[in-house]
Amino acid sequence: SQQGEEDPQALSIQEGENATMNCSYKTSINNLQWYRQNSGRGLVHLILIRSNEREKHSGRLRVTLDTSKKSSSLLITASRAADTASYFCALNDYKLSFGAGTTVTVRA
């Protein structure tokens, strides 16, 4: 099975700025999902994007998927302190396989 690789590993931004993180993978997928985790707690589902979709939005979140490049990106616009968390991409490969995550810190 494969795992997504998130980039960067860590990100520090000022409140109000945008945050972008990327996820790359190696083989074909059915869907790709993004999750958020606050400080060792449970994961919260953000967006699921299927292989035939190119872009999805949810509030201040925008996810893109480029299956030709085998990559996805998560954009958080107008970041807030509450967005401080770890963000994971998860690949659907008969199960969900998670990457190591991107740790985002939003400074007030």
Please give the residue ranges that form the binding site for other proteins (CB under 8 A): 1, 30-31, 33, 35, 40-45, 48, 88, 90-101
73 within 8 A of 21, measured Cβ to Cβ: yes
Residue 13 or 100: which CB sits closer to other proteins? Answer: 100
Inter-CA distances, 31 with 46, 93, 99, 103, 105, Å: 13, 8, 14, 22, 27
| CB nearer other proteins, residue 11 or residue 100 | 100
Angstrom distance (rounded) from CA 32 to CA 41: 21
**Cβ at position 20, least distance to other proteins in Å:** 21
Residue 40 CB, shortest distance to other proteins, in Å, is 6
